[in-house]
Chain A
């Protein structure tokens, strides 16, 4: 589904943010991307979402080479993704309902069908009763859930979340994670960047760990964590 082959990314005037990264994420997987801030997690996600292009190497999304895509084809590639950001990127000048309907508008879906889908998405994240509320009146956790509703309303096959729980306290973070797991259960591929590897402690997940642009891959078993909590620490500060 997502394949990186020797991908290097360098921003103008900076060192290489990603160095020779190769990876493969299959459909239906739930993958964490971990590492310090500045380790290249966001860049990796941006490459997947085609908001950035690799300096060298190839990025394949659903067998399409992103570097070779025409600029006019990029929007249609992006519609396969649901993007979730640490700062939500909600639009504060309109209601929750209007926020969630935006991707459907872009997809040309309107009317009763659109309203039905928006309510279904809001229901999945537990915000159905807030559809008329303005996002600014919601708590941080609710705002993030609203952002998730917006990301899933157009039924994308891949969810990409950049530090979705970064600003939230533990119980909200657990809510968010539970929602992601629920989507993963019905076949949605989830790629989630986090600096907090303990998120993964409840289930077995693949973890792509970035350190100064280099990728190491690890399978994190919940059992490992229980036996040796230090391994998480190692993950954190390696």
Chain B
């Protein structure tokens, strides 16, 4: 156990020393890894936040319940009682035809043509209407609620505008698949980059490996430092990617704050996306380990003592 620990500590300190001696090239390798990691992570961040935004908007989706023109106050009260009993409804409010008419008049004041047209009308053409917010934001459930409301007597028309939300959800789904493949391709790139880097290191340390073999080194003694090197490249590259991501998010948040302000929302990107960052770093470290394992195993299999 002690021996084993010693072996690993020695390998680790050897690798750290080597990296310190070649700080610049180590940094360049980590930078390449970092950039390669950043790309899919940025895409992910974009799609993830868009889908959050979409959820956010879906919650604002209203069902508009337009009543028949000749509905009297008693019927309205009946409908209101039914709405109050319905569990799927978060809240609702009534806009009577007179209120709607007034609102329309106020809104159209600035528009000459519309204003003229409204004043030309003798009667109020608007119906009484309930505006309902459902508890659920799932399109299917909203659809069910809509048809239920449609069937209430006295209701002329129930309107639910979820089409664009559905389309957005489909697009986001597509985006997620896109990210998956980008991530897969970049993982292969990382594997090759790290594998190649380790292969070059093996070449430069050929003498040391040969001497070590001659004086009784086991394969694992030869392999361990390179595995640590690969893992550390991944780890440092991952940390670099996290730093870059945080910088990008911070820059983005300035512009997003402006836009959100226009929509009177406090939406912003999270600076510490812990799960994403942990995933990035561990994935990179694992890829580094695997890449160097493949490179070293190949080198060991081909190694000939002169």
- Report the separation of the CA atoms of residues A75 and B213 in the bound assembly, to the nearest whole angstrom: 7
Counting chain A residues whose Cβ lies within 8 A of the other chain, the interface size class is: 20 to 34
Closest to A147 in B: B211
Asked if A89 and B6 make an inter-chain contact with CB atoms under 8 angstroms apart, the answer reads: no
Q: Is B215 in contact with A106, judged by CB distance below 8 angstroms?
A: yes
A220, CB-defined interface residue at 8 Å: no
A33 within 8 A of B: no
In the assembly, what is the distance between CA of A75 and CA of B218, in Å?
6
A79 on the interface (CB 8 Å rule)?
yes
Shortest beta-carbon distance from B306 to chain A in Å:
9
Which residues 121-179 of A sit at the B interface, judged by CB distance below 8 A? 150-151, 154
CB nearest neighbor in A for B4: A108
Within 8 A of A (CB), among B146-176: none
Query: Are B6's CB and A75's CB within 8 A?
Result: no
Nearest CB in chain B to that of A94: its residue = B208
Out of A72, A93, A102, A110, which one reaches B215, CB within 8 Å? A102
A39 interface contact, C-beta 8 A: no
The B interface, classified by DSSP as helix, strand, loop or mixed, is helix
A89 to B214, CA, bound (A): 10
State whether B305 touches A103 (Cβ < 8 A). no
B207 close to chain A: CB less than 8 A? yes
Contact of B214 with A83 in the complex, beta carbons under 8 Å: yes
Assess whether A64 is interfacial by the CB under 8 Å rule.
no
A218 within 8 A of B: no
Does B10 make an interface contact (CB < 8 A)?
Answer: yes
* A89 x B216 contact (CB < 8 A): no
Contacts of A93 in B (CB 8 A): 208
A75 touches B217 (CB 8 A): yes
Q: Does A51 contact B (CB under 8 A)?
A: yes
CA distance A83 to B215 in the complex (A): 7
Task: Provide the bound-state CA to CA distance between A154 and B218, in Å.
Answer: 16
Contacts of B112 in A (CB 8 A): none
Q: Mark A74-106, 1 if CB is under 8 A from B, else 0.
A: 011111010100000101010000000011011
Q: Which residues of A contact B221 (CB under 8 A)?
A: 75, 106
Q: A89-B211, A102-B211, A102-B215 are in contact. Are A108 and B6 (CB under 8 A)?
A: yes
Is B62 engaged at the interface, CB distance under 8 Å to the other chain? no
**Which of the listed residues B217, B219, B221 has the most CB atoms from chain A within 10 Å of its own CB?**
B217
Which single residue of chain A is at the shortest CB-CB distance from B218? A75
Output the least CB separation between B39 and chain A (Å): 37
Q: Within 8 Å of chain A (Cβ to Cβ): is B7?
A: yes
* Least CB separation from A93: chain B residue: B208
Q: Is B96 an interface residue (CB 8 A)?
A: no
Q: Do the beta carbons of A72 and B218 come within 8 Å of each other?
A: yes
Is B273 in the interface zone, CB < 8 Å from A? no
Known contacts A51-B305, A89-B210, A91-B208: A108-B7 contact under CB 8 Å? yes
A49 in contact (CB, < 8 A): yes
B265 at the interface (CB under 8 A from A): no
Docked-complex contact B211 and A49, CB < 8 angstroms: no
Q: Interface digits, B1-30 against A, CB 8 Å rule (1 contact, 0 not)?
A: 001001100100000000000000000000
B7 touches A102 (CB 8 A): no
Q: Which residues of B contact A49 (CB under 8 A)?
A: 214
| Nearest-Cβ distance from residue A69 to partner chain B, whole angstroms | 13
Asked if B212 lies at the interface with its beta carbon under 8 angstroms from chain A, I say yes
Within 8 A of A (CB), among B213-234: 213-219, 221
Interface residues of B (CB under 8 A from A): 3, 6-7, 10, 207-208, 210-219, 221, 305
Knowing that A75-B216, A91-B211, A106-B215 touch, tell me 12 more A-B residue pairs with CB under 8 angstroms. Answer: A72-B219, A75-B218, A75-B221, A78-B214, A78-B216, A89-B207, A89-B211, A91-B207, A102-B215, A103-B216, A105-B10, A151-B215
Pick the 6 closest A-B CB pairs, nearest first: A79-B216, A78-B216, A108-B3, A75-B218, A75-B216, A106-B217
Can you give 18 A-B contacts (C-beta < 8 A)? Answer: A49-B214, A75-B213, A75-B219, A75-B221, A76-B218, A79-B215, A81-B216, A83-B214, A89-B210, A89-B211, A91-B211, A93-B208, A102-B211, A105-B10, A107-B216, A108-B3, A150-B215, A151-B215
